[in-house]
Amino acid sequence: MNLRIPTARQIAFIKMAVFLLCSIPAAHLAAGWFSGTLGANPIQALQHATGEWTLRMLLITLAVTPLRRLTGIHWLLRLRRMLGLFAFAWACAHLANWLWLDLWLDWTLIAHDILERPYVTVGLAAFVLMVPLAATSNAFAIGRLGGRRWQALHRSVYAIAVLGVVHFWWLVKADVLEPLLYALALAALLGVRGWWRELERRRQLAAGGPGCPQIKNKVIRIVPR
Amino acid sequence: MLIKCPADIPPSEITPREQFERRREFLRHAGLGVAAATALWHGLLPEARAASALGPLIAGPYRTDETPTPFEAVTRYNNFYEFGTDKEDPAKNAVRMALEPWTVRVEGLVNKPQTFDIDTLRKLAPLEERIYRLRCVEAWSMVVPWVGYPLAALLRAVEPLGSAKYVAFVTHYDPQIMLRRPVLDWPYTEGLRLDEALHPLTLLTFGLYGELLPAQNGAPLRIVVPWKYGFKSIKSLVAIRLTERQPATAWNTAAPHEYGFYANVNPEVSHPRWSQATERRIGELRRRPTLMFNGYAEQVAQLYQGMDLKTNF
């Protein structure tokens, strides 16, 4: 198989394989729940696992663009929607577990948690921001919104990822090692974008051209390449 | 000090004696089975363990008749950050801790400062089995059959001076086998007011489920203060110091706005991350309401008369 230009059939196969791969943790967790191997506090184990997988899938989704650019394997882009939807699915599981199994839909308790605990507020905000992205993750919505507006909307994934890491950071009691690792990974993924953007800005400045006046030290709109 | 007896138990909560004893027997067998398997797993002969068993136990006062949390959960779901911050880490890592020789230094404002070895300490007073509720600040709880005797027996043996007002405790710390990352200020420290430490509920603990304490539960000896959040019940104790001033404690030093010196279980004062109004008893799915002083209000409320428990949390 030509890794750079796979056939449509091969792409379909890759998608199926990635889907199955991404489903393994969920199957593993479900098996653990039903066989009672999630430890003494299975609801908490479920809460942590679903939260961590949400973050992992978000980071994997954000890794697609840099990976594609570094390797030149452009069909990676065609996996991004599925990866993002997996992140959303984990977030739904995380929220549902919290509302239902943890708090048994006790809305007074839930309201207090949202209002009084910043990590809950931030986590919920991240979830709310994910909803429009999931809802517009189809060809119809892209057509309806137009590519540029769709892209602008979907840039909120950066904010979502930052909120997700803050949510994790805020909830640990003392040991920030784990949230720190997620924060570093996210910083790398966002940093590389910033760096490339800066390079592109300089290139366009140097090249001049229409719509790109030669003004030093002024932020100018970058025309995507 | 006048010791109040626990309130009468409503008839609805009394388990028929026969059923209760059957459960105890079953639990003892289950406990012994797991303990034996653990001993074998670590290359110890079961006989070696039996030789150091805790001997005859008397049923202590204040025991609850709530169903004890299974041995497996009590010994696998632990906070002992020196051995890792995941609940299952201590059970995996604490076995590396060398338990012999073990001594406990008792010093400070006492007439007779001394260093006790663990065998002497175990024999200082008759060992009792006390089934206590344990409530963690993370809003989960357990019921644990501890074995020990009131800490007061040890404190009286060293004769506190009139100037002593507080008791500071220190956990064993060995950077060779324990976490070196400064998650907390190691060694872990805790403290009580002297009257809290002398309270008959405060237990110097050597075992659980009739067995010696497993390493992850604070072997070879720990303190259990059942009306306070779990972190006040210091594990793997090596030093006790009587002082005039309130001692620094590990969690209070790490985050004073979140963890007070008193840390009394109080459903009305919530932690920034956890509402303390309810808790999940390990093994149960639904939450249950948290009781003031973890259900020991009748015994300990008078210790805090006139204090604002919202500021002294």
User: What are the tens digits of pLDDT across the range A171-191?
Assistant: 998 889 999 999 999 999 999
For residue B1, pLDDT over 50 is answered with no
Across the interface, do A173 and B273 touch by the CB < 8 Å criterion? Answer: yes
For residue B294, pLDDT over 90 is answered with yes
* β-pair type (B288-289, B278-281): antiparallel
Q: Which two tokens stand for residue A157?
A: 């994934």
Q: Residue A1 — very low, low, confident or very high, per pLDDT cuts 50/70/90?
A: low
- Report the residue of chain A nearest B88, measured CA to CA: A39
For residue A27, pLDDT over 80 is answered with yes
Q: What is the mean pLDDT of residues B50-63?
A: 74
**In chain B, positions 3-32, which contact chain A (CB-CB < 8 Å)?**
none
| Total Cβ atoms within 10 A of residue B302 | 12
Query: Under a CB-based contact definition with an 8 Å cutoff, are residues B197 and B233 in contact?
Result: no
Which residues are within 8 A (CB) of B308 and not within 5 positions of it... i.e. 6 or more apart? none
**How buried is residue B194: exposed, middle or buried, by Cβ count under 10 Å (0-12/13-18/19+)?**
middle
Q: What is the mean pLDDT of residues A38-52?
A: 95
pTM: 0.83
Across the interface, do B76 and A40 touch by the CB < 8 Å criterion? Answer: yes
pLDDT at residue B47, rounded to an integer: 37
Q: What is the mean pLDDT of residues B58-85?
A: 93
Q: What is the mean pLDDT of residues A197-212?
A: 78
pLDDT at residue A128, rounded to an integer: 98
3-state SS, A147-208, equals: HHHHHHHHCHHHHHHHHHHHHHHHHCCCCCHHHHHHHHHHHHHHHHHHHHHHHHHHHHHHHC
pLDDT at residue A199, rounded to an integer: 92
* β-pair type (B140-150, B166-171): unpaired
d(CA B189, CA B241): 11
Q: What is the mean pLDDT of residues A155-159?
A: 96
Q: Residue A214 — very low, low, confident or very high, per pLDDT cuts 50/70/90?
A: low
Q: Assess B245–A contact: CB distance below 8 Å, yes or no.
A: no
Q: Across-strand partners of B107?
A: B241
For residue A15, pLDDT over 50 is answered with yes
pLDDT at residue B88, rounded to an integer: 94
Which of A87-91, A175-179, A202-206: highest mean pLDDT?
A: A87-91
For residue B52, pLDDT over 50 is answered with no
pLDDT at residue B28, rounded to an integer: 53
Q: Assess B289–A contact: CB distance below 8 Å, yes or no.
A: no
DSSP tally for chain B: helices H, then strands E: 9, 13
Query: Under a CB-based contact definition with an 8 Å cutoff, are residues B32 and B229 in contact?
Result: no
d(CA A172, CA B199): 33
For residue A80, pLDDT over 90 is answered with yes
For residue A205, pLDDT over 90 is answered with no
**How buried is residue B54: exposed, middle or buried, by Cβ count under 10 Å (0-12/13-18/19+)?**
middle
Q: Residue B49 — very low, low, confident or very high, per pLDDT cuts 50/70/90?
A: very low
For B161-212, how does the pLDDT look when each residue is reduced to its tens digit (9 = 90+)? 999 999 999 999 999 999 998 899 999 999 999 999 999 999 999 999 999 9
Query: Under a CB-based contact definition with an 8 Å cutoff, are residues A169 and A183 in contact?
Result: yes
3-state secondary structure of B103: strand
- Report the residue of chain A nearest B70, measured CA to CA: A40
Across the interface, do A40 and B184 touch by the CB < 8 Å criterion? Answer: no
Best mutation target, A102, A173, A180, to test chain B (most B CBs within 10 A): A173
Q: Residue B292 — very low, low, confident or very high, per pLDDT cuts 50/70/90?
A: very high
Q: Which two tokens stand for residue B51?
A: 């030789």
For residue B255, pLDDT over 60 is answered with yes
> Higher pLDDT residue, A63 or B12?
A63
> Higher pLDDT residue, A27 or A214?
A27
Task: List phi, psi (to 5°) of A104.
Answer: 50, 40
pLDDT at residue A204, rounded to an integer: 83
* β-pair type (B189-193, B166-171): antiparallel
Query: Under a CB-based contact definition with an 8 Å cutoff, are residues A53 and A28 in contact?
Result: no
Q: Across-strand partners of B237?
A: B171
For residue B51, pLDDT over 90 is answered with no
Task: State which H helix or E strand residue A8 sits in.
Answer: helix A8-35
Residue carrying structure tokens 């930052």: A162
DSSP secondary-structure letter at B228?
Answer: B
Alpha helices, DSSP H, located in chain B: 17-41, 46-51, 71-76, 89-93, 118-122, 151-158, 194-198, 250-254, 297-300
d(CA B102, CA B238): 8
d(CA B35, CA B213): 10
For residue A121, pLDDT over 50 is answered with yes
d(CA B193, CA B290): 24
B182 prior amide bond cis, ω within 30:
no
Query: Under a CB-based contact definition with an 8 Å cutoff, are residues B129 and B60 in contact?
Result: yes
For residue B257, pLDDT over 70 is answered with yes
3-state secondary structure of B59: strand
pLDDT at residue B43, rounded to an integer: 43
d(CA A184, CA B284): 37
Percent residues over pLDDT 70 in chain B? 83
| Total Cβ atoms within 10 A of residue B273 | 19
d(CA B70, CA B282): 9
DSSP secondary-structure letter at A95?
Answer: H
pLDDT at residue A222, rounded to an integer: 62
Q: Which two tokens stand for residue A210?
A: 């229409």
Q: Assess B269–A contact: CB distance below 8 Å, yes or no.
A: no
Q: What is the mean pLDDT of residues A135-159?
A: 94
